[in-house]
């Protein structure tokens, strides 16, 4: 544990903008906007995704969009939420530029080593970075050197990828947060937690996937997570409120006392759709 547990709103491409953060602000501590494709190759991939019906942010000026959206989140004063941005890029330069924008605003720069669509993988974005730890390290180091809090979003279950080892590499390159989509394998969070405990570098572990209330928050907490995140529940206020209550109890040290007592509603995935 590297501090108080907190709740993160995880990126939903094409949906997670400042207005989305505003709607979630009463519940979450951090809102990771995007993902946003930054360079020509990743933008071409995003256009291909739109052509086959997916939602993507494709502003004319991606870095200007990042700055404007982060500023708009910073302007939410009734329920302050820390902003961040999930970025995809086939090249290093725009990652550094996005991180500089984040550093200026105390925002989080999250490197997307997560998305699995073939169009993004083909240009070396998303989960392809998990297969290229040297390039992942360079991205992380470039972002971290700007002074921005640097997160890496990763997914479990990729054949041939040792996620715990990759997480260690990212932490040693300067990642402040490891954001792990457990992909229905909570054990993956435990494995990353152990690896980070053994690594010389300190990093905060955020567990993602299927967090829907007390039961799942308690499960990830028991596996060693420092925080949890929600993607689809950001668009389902009753589930979001339930998760926020559980995280508040976790922060107060009351999560374990009440978990497993049968008081909570059954946790259901609001929309079991295909996702990146």
Ligand X SMILES: Cc1cc2nc3c(=O)[nH]c(=O)nc-3n(C[C@H](O)[C@H](O)[C@H](O)COP(=O)(O)O)c2cc1C
Window of 92-100, 207-215, 218-226, 249-257 that interacts with ligand X by CB under 6 A: 207-215
Window of 77-85, 160-168, 230-238, 255-263 that interacts with ligand X by CB under 6 A: 230-238
Binding-residue total with ligand X (CB under 6 A): 22
Going by the DSSP 8-state scheme, the letter that residue 183 receives in this structure is T
The yes or no reply on residue 230 touching ligand X (CB under 6 A) is yes
Burial class of residue 238, CB neighbours in 10 A (0-12, 13-18, 19+): exposed
Measure the CA–CA gap between 198 and 156, rounded to whole angstroms: 19
- The residue with tokens 């435990």 is 190
Annotate 35-100 with three-state secondary structure: EEECCHHHHHHHHHHHHCCCCCECCCCHHHHHHHHHHHHHCCCCCCCEEEEEEECCCHHHHHHHHH
Window of 158-166, 208-216, 247-255, 258-266 that interacts with ligand X by CB under 6 A: 208-216
What mask, x for binding ligand X by CB under 6 A, covers residues 14 to 53? Answer: --------------------xx------------------
Considering the complex, state which of residue 184 and residue 257 has its C-beta at the smaller distance from ligand X.
Answer: 184
What mask, x for binding ligand X by CB under 6 A, covers residues 121 to 160? Answer: --------------------------------x-------
Nearest residue to 126 (alpha-carbon basis) of 88, 159, 170, 178: 88
Give the residue, chosen from 112, 150, 151, 204, that forms a contact with ligand X under the rule CB under 6 A: 112
The yes or no reply on residue 114 touching ligand X (CB under 6 A) is yes
């Amino acid at each position: 544990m590297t501090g108080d547990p907190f709740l993160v709103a995880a990126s939903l491409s094409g949906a997670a903008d400042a207005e989305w953060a505003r709607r979630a602000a009463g519940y979450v501590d951090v809102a990771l906007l995007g993902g946003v494709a930054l360079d020509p190759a990743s933008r071409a991939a995003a256009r291909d995704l739109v052509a086959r019906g997916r939602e993507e942010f494709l502003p004319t000026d991606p870095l200007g969009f990042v700055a404007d959206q982060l500023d708009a989140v910073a302007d939410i004063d009734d329920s302050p939420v820390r902003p961040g941005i999930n970025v995809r890029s086939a090249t290093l330069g725009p990652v550094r530029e996005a991180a500089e924008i984040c550093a200026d605003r105390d925002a989080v720069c999250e490197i997307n080593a997560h998305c699995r669509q073939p169009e993004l993988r083909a240009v070396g974005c998303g989960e392809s970075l998990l297969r290229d730890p040297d390039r992942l390290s360079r991205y992380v180091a470039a972002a971290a050197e700007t002074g921005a809090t640097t997160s890496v979003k990763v997914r479990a279950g990729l054949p041939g990828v040792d996620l715990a080892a990759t997480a260690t590499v990212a932490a040693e390159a300067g990642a402040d947060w490891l954001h792990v989509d457990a992909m229905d394998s909570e054990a993956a969070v435990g494995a990353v937690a152990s690896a980070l405990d053994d690594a010389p570098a300190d990093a905060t572990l955020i567990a993602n996937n299927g967090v829907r209330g007390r039961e799942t928050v308690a499960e990830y907490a028991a596996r060693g997570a420092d925080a949890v995140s929600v993607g689809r529940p950001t668009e389902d206020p009753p589930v979001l409120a339930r998760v926020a209550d559980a995280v508040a109890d976790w922060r107060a040290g009351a999560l374990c006392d009440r978990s497993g007592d049968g008081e909570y509603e059954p946790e259901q995935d609001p929309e079991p759709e295909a996702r990146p």
